A and B are shown apart, each in its own frame.
Chain A
C-alpha cells in the first residue's frame, strides 16, 4: 500500500520529465531523429488565403536555410534544426502576398498560416521615407549603402557637369553638356539618378529642380525606392528598355511600411513585407544598367561593322536603329544565356558579386537588423542569406581582380615575339562596362639586356585619343599596346562624343566574360644572342583624357596588373 502511495507520488514528476523530453524533441531539442532512424518533422501545417489552400508558397523556419514549397493542398512538412537565437516560428511567403508566420506549436503542429494579397494600390503621391528611417533598425545595412555609389547618384558632381556643361569649378560652357545642346529638354537622367523624384512626376525633371525638392527625393537610389519595386516590365519608351513598376501603398496594416525583398520570412510589425524573386535576379538591375539610344527619323547605323549577329541578338536588339550606349545588363544576360546547363557560371547573378561579403565588413554578421530591433524582431541567419548593400563596382580593389594578364615571349632570329594574354576573370559583363567614357589601356615594352628599348615592328599602338604628350603624365599615343573600350562617334568622324551626339559605335573591343584576348607584338632584335625582356601593364582609365581635361576633373588612372617576361 505504502509502495503504491510512493509510486503515485512519483507519477507527476515522471509525467513532467516525459513531457519535457517530448517537447524538447518536438521543439528544437538536440536531435529530431527518432529511435527508428526516421526524421521527425519539425512542423506540419498548411498555407491558406481567403481564396483557399495556397500551392507554391515558400515555407521555412524563420531564418533557416531549408526552404519548403507547399503542395496543391497548401500542406507543408518542415524538417531540420531550428536556427539558434530566434523565437521558433514557421513563416510563409509568396510573390504578390504579404509574408506571415506563426509561432511553432508544442507538438510541431502548426495551424493554418494565412497570407493576405498585396493589392494593386500604387500611390504616386507617396512621400518616400528617408534612409534615416531605415537606419533606426537596419543601421549597418544603411551605413554600408550610404558609402556606396547608389547613395550619391543625384548629387554626383560629374553627372551635373555633364548635364549642365560645367567644369569641376562650376564654370559654365566647359566641355560637353546635355542642356547646352538641348536647352529645351530636361532629358531623362532623373529616371535613374533621382528615381524617387522621377517616379512621382509625370514629366521629365531637370536635375537642379530635383535637388531643390525635399531631400528624400534625391537621396540617390534609396532604400525605399528599390524596396517598393513590385516588378520590372519591358518598356521600349524608356532609355533602358525596361521600367520598374512601383507599389507605394502607405500605410498598409496600420503604420507598417510596405517593402518587397528577397526574404520570405520577414514577419515583423514595422514592415509589411512581401517576398519577391526579382531581388535575386539580374532583371532588377536592368532598369538602370542599360542605356539605349533610338536614333529616330529613320536613321540607322551599320552595326555589323562592330557586332556579330549573335552579339546583337544576344543584346536583345533588332534592326539597326538602336545605338547601345550602356549595356551592362544585356552583356550579363547574353553571357548567361550562352552558357550550357551545368556550367559552373550558370545562374550567376549581379547581386552575388556586387552585394557580396567583403573583408572590410568582417566579422560575418547573422542579422540584418541591429540594436533594439534585433532584440525584438531579429532573425538569426547564415551569412549566406545576407547581401551587404555596397554595390561595389569600378573600384580599385574590384578592377584589380576583374582582369588577369599573362605574358610569353620567343626569340625568332632577329625578332622578339611577345604575346600578351588578357582575361576577363571576374566580370560577369564585358570589361570595362557602364558608361563609355571608361577604358582599359595595355602598354607593352621590350628592352635588350643593356636596357635599351626595342623597336616595335608589328603589333598595335595606342590611338591618338588616349592623349598626346608626356607618357609620364598618362599620354600614351603611339606606344605599343592597345585600348579596350566602346567608342561612340558621330557622322563627322569625331570620336568619344557624348551619347546625345553619337550616331554610331566606332569601336567595341571590350573583353567578354571569362574570355581571354591574345595580342601579339613583334620587336626588332639586332643581336639574336641578346637576352631581351618585355613588360606589359594594364591600366583602367575612368574617364577619357580629353574629357577629364575639359572638365578639370581629378581622375587618376588605376593600375590593374603588370607582368614581365
Chain B
C-alpha cells in the first residue's frame, strides 16, 4: 500500500516538474510600458523568428465578434492557417472585409444572428473594416509561430501564452529552446519596439519594452 502511494507521488512529482519545466526552460516574461497610450493592454509581443515546430494552426479557431458597431477584440493575434469566425451579434447588418495584402476578402452584408468564417493563410497584418460603418476597424495579426502574447491590463505578458493558445485549440506548444531570438511589439498606434534576447536553459527571460507613439511597422521584414 505504502509503495503504491509512493509510486503515485513520484509520478505526480515528475508530471509537475515536467509541466513547470516548460516555463522554466523557455518562457519570455515581461512588461510593456507604452508612452502616449491610455492603457498598456492589448499590445502584441511576439518572437519574430522562431521554429514553427509541430504546431498546426489549421485546427485553431478564433472569434472576431461584431457588436455595438465595434469589432471585439480590437486586436486579434492568430496563428497562420487559423480560422476566424465573424458572428454578427449586433442589431444591424454588417459587411466585414479587408483589402490587406495578407488576406483580401469581402463577406458581404449579413444580418444579426448570422456568422461567417475566414481562414488566414498568410502571415501579416490584416486591417479589418465594415463597409457600411466606417468607424468599425480592427486588426487580425497573422503570426507564423505560436510564440506571442497580448499584454494584460498592467502591460504584462508571458510567451508562449498557453492559456490563450489553449482557449483557441492550439495545444501542445513546446517551450522555446535555448538560443537567441528577436522579440518585437505591435500596436496600431505605437512604433515597433524590438529587443534581441537570449534564452538559457536556466529559466525565464525577462524584458521590458517602452514603445513610443508613432507608426507601426510590418510584422515580418
Q: Pick the contact of A359 from B70, B191, B215, B221 — CB < 8 Å?
A: B70
Interface string of B187-221 (1 = CB under 8 A from A): 00001100000000000000000000011111001
Residues of A contacting B69 with CB < 8 Å? 357-359, 362
A329-365, CB < 8 A from B: 344-345, 348, 352-353, 356-359, 362, 364
Q: Is A565 in contact with chain B by the CB < 8 A criterion? A: yes
Q: What is the CA–CA distance of A490 and B109 in the complex, to the nearest angstrom?
A: 44
Contact residues on B (Cβ < 8 Å of other chain), bracket: 20 to 34
Collect the chain B residues with CB atoms within 8 Å of residue A527's CB: none
| A320 CB–B CB distance under 8 Å | no
Residue in A344, A384, A398, A535 whose CB lies within 8 Å of B106 = A344
Q: Are A564 and B217 touching (Cβ within 8 A)?
A: yes
- Taking the complex as formed, is A407 at the interface, i.e. its CB lies under 8 A from any CB of chain B? yes
Tally chain A residues at the interface, Cβ within 8 Å.
Answer: 38
**Complex contact A397–B100 (CB within 8 A):** no
B7 within 8 Å of A (CB atoms):
no
A516 within 8 A of B: yes
Q: CB-defined interface of A396-409 with B at 8 Å, one 1/0 digit per residue?
A: 01100110101111
Chain A positions near chain B (C-beta within 8 angstroms) = 344-345, 348, 352-353, 356-359, 362, 364, 382-384, 392, 397-398, 401-402, 404, 406-409, 421, 423, 425-426, 514, 516, 533, 535-537, 562-565
Residues of B within 8 A of A382 (CB): 91
Task: Give the contact stretch, choosing among B17-25, B58-66, B132-140.
Answer: B132-140
> Would A401 and B135 count as touching, CB distance under 8 A?
yes
The interface of chain B, by Cβ under 8 A from chain A, is 68-70, 91-93, 95, 97, 99-101, 106-109, 125, 127, 129, 131-137, 191-192, 214-218, 221
CB neighbours (8 Å) of A425 from chain B are 97, 99, 127, 129
A351 smallest CB distance to B (angstroms): 10
Is A404's CB under 8 angstroms from B100's CB?
A: yes
In the bound complex, CA of A299 to CA of B175 (Å): 75
Q: Nearest Cβ in chain A — how far from B97, in angstroms?
A: 7
Contact of B135 among A345, A352, A358 (CB under 8 A): A358
Q: Using Cβ atoms and an 8 Å threshold, which residues of chain B touch A345? A: 106, 131
Closest chain-B Cβ to A347's Cβ sits at a distance in Å of 9
Residues of A within 8 A of B134 (CB): 353, 356, 392, 397-398, 401-402, 426
Of the candidates A364, A398, A533, A536, the one whose C-beta lies within 8 Å of that of B92 is A364
Among all A-B residue pairs, the 5 with the closest Cβ atoms? A344-B108, A562-B215, A564-B215, A344-B106, A423-B99
Q: Are the CB atoms of B215 and A535 closer together than 8 Å?
A: yes
Asked whether, in the complex, the Cβ of A563 is within 8 Å of the Cβ of B216, the reply is yes
Which residues of A lie under 8 Å from residue B99 when comparing CB positions? Answer: 404, 423, 425, 514, 516
Q: A362 — which chain B residues lie within 8 A by C-beta?
A: 68-69
**18 A-B pairs, CB-CB below 8 angstroms?**
A353-B131, A357-B92, A359-B69, A362-B68, A362-B69, A397-B135, A402-B134, A404-B129, A409-B221, A423-B99, A425-B99, A425-B127, A425-B129, A514-B99, A563-B215, A563-B217, A564-B191, A564-B216
Chain B residue at smallest Cβ distance from A346? B108
CB pair A384 B91 closer than 8 Å:
yes
Residues on B with beta carbons closer than 8 Å to the beta carbon of A426: 129, 131, 134
Q: CA–CA, A535 to B214, complex, Å?
A: 10
- Is there an interface contact between B127 and A404, defined as CB atoms closer than 8 Å? yes
Partner of B215, one of A353, A356, A537: A537
Using a Cβ cutoff of 8 Å, how many contacts connect chains A and B?
91
User: Min CB distance, A366 to chain B, in Å?
Assistant: 9
Q: Please measure, in the bound complex, the distance between the C-alpha atom of A398 and the C-alpha atom of B129, giving whole angstroms.
A: 12
B100 touching A406, Cβ below 8 Å: yes
Contacts of B136 in A (CB 8 A): 401
Partner of A353, one of B92, B132, B214, B216: B132
CB-defined contacts of A404 to chain B, threshold 8 Å: 99-100, 127, 129
Give which listed residue, B97, B132, B214, contacts A564 with CB less than 8 A. B214
B32 to chain A, nearest CB (A): 18
Bound CA span A411–B191, Å: 21
Q: Is B95 a contact partner of A408 (Cβ separation < 8 A)?
A: no
CA A533 to CA B69, docked complex, whole Å: 36
- A2 and B68 alpha carbons, distance in the complex (Å): 65
Q: Which residue of B lies closest to A428 (CB)?
A: B131
CA distance A425 to B136 in the complex (A): 12
Task: Please give the distance in Å from B90's CB to the nearest CB on chain A.
Answer: 9
Kindly state the separation between the CA atoms of A345 and B132 in the bound complex, as whole angstroms.
Answer: 10
Give the Cβ gap from A277 to chain B, nearest Cβ, in Å.
Answer: 19
Q: How far is the CA of A535 from the CA of B70 in the complex (A)?
A: 28
Query: How far apart are the CA atoms of A352 and B93 in the complex, in Å?
Result: 11
Residues of A within 8 A of B97 (CB): 344, 425
Q: Known contacts A348-B131, A353-B134, A359-B70: does B101 contact A421 (CB below 8 Å)?
A: yes
- Bound-state CA distance A546–B97 (Å) is 38
Q: Which residues of B contact A535 (CB under 8 A)?
A: 215
Alpha-carbon separation in the docked complex, A157 to B114 (Å): 47
Q: Which residues of A contact B106 (CB under 8 A)?
A: 344-345
With both beta carbons as reference points, the residue of chain B lying nearest to A424 in the complex is identified as B99
Q: Are B135 and A407 in contact (CB under 8 A)?
A: no
Residues of chain B contacted by A401 (CB below 8 angstroms) = 129, 134-137
Closest residue of A by beta carbon distance from B105: A344
Known contacts A353-B134, A564-B192, A564-B217; can you find 13 more A-B pairs with CB under 8 A? A344-B95, A344-B97, A344-B108, A356-B132, A358-B133, A359-B70, A382-B91, A383-B91, A402-B134, A406-B101, A562-B214, A564-B214, A565-B217
